[in-house]
Amino acid sequence: MVFSPDLSATVEGRGEGAALLRFNLAGDDFDAALDAAGAMPLPPYIASKRAADAQDRTDYQTIWAARAGAVAAPTASLHFDDALLAAVRARGVDLTHVTLHVGAGTFLPVKVDDVSQHRMHAEWGEVTADAAARIAATRASGGRVIPVGTTALRLIESAAARGAIAPFRGQTDIFIRPGHVFRVVDGLMTNFHLPKSTLMMLVSALMGVDRMRRVYAHAVAREYRFFSYGDASLLLPDADGARG
């Protein structure tokens, strides 16, 4: 496969919806050639309507992006800029960061009738010791842990698989759906999601199926913008844990 005069690859294997490629370059040379030949990997529902342009390199990148590896932006974070972060900190909100390298599987629909048979794609993530300690301290002091985006929520819940938040580094394929017992998070800031998706199941697990139906009916009636470049929602379950 030839991507540009400088970048080519050999297909060494194929799997379900994926292929293993061996490139002719590695390290910084590979990164530079890929950046020159490639385009911003916009979600399919955007890419099917228009090609990526130069503005997407800014619009589809979060202000705290630091480590290469994801194939999609954690789009809830796109709502934040320096001014908003300063305002949040001025209100006394403590912020910490986690890393999840979002994979292309995040765009895959659920194709089984029995959702317990759905298998999530694995993604690499890290919750550092400092981040875990700050999250634990927030909970211990009576504060609320509110991830920005479903990616952050999934990683934090993965890091708390044994009951309490702990440092985490590795692959996670956690599938959060109604019935999930949340161990750490108290809310979520997220965009409006595609129907029949694992992300819709996640927010329904947090808030309750009936409540999310009402939320989305409200959003549709008032013509909110959906998906990656759309509007955000702040989801806060009842204090008593009711998810109706």
- Whole-prediction pTM: 0.85
In angstroms, rounded to a whole number, what is the distance separating the alpha carbons of residues 70 and 35?
A: 14
Residue 66: its pLDDT value, please? 87
Place of tokens 């320096």: 82
Query: What does the pLDDT average to over 108-131?
Result: 86
Max mean pLDDT among 45-59, 60-74, 168-182, 228-242 falls in 168-182
Give pLDDT, residue 103. Answer: 81
Strand partners, 171: 124
Fold (topology level) of 67-235? QueA-like (3.40.1780)
Return the number of other C-beta atoms located less than 10 Å from residue 190's C-beta: 24
Residue closest to 184 by CA, chosen among 163, 205, 202: 163
- Other C-beta atoms closer than 10 Å to the C-beta of 22 total 11
Q: Which residue shows structure tokens 């509007």?
A: 231
Percent of the chain exceeding pLDDT 70 equals 97
pLDDT single digits (tens) 1-18: 999 999 999 999 997 777
Distance CA 118, CA 241 (A): 27
Residue 170 contacts residue 159 (beta carbons within 8 Å): no
More confident residue, 130 or 121: 130
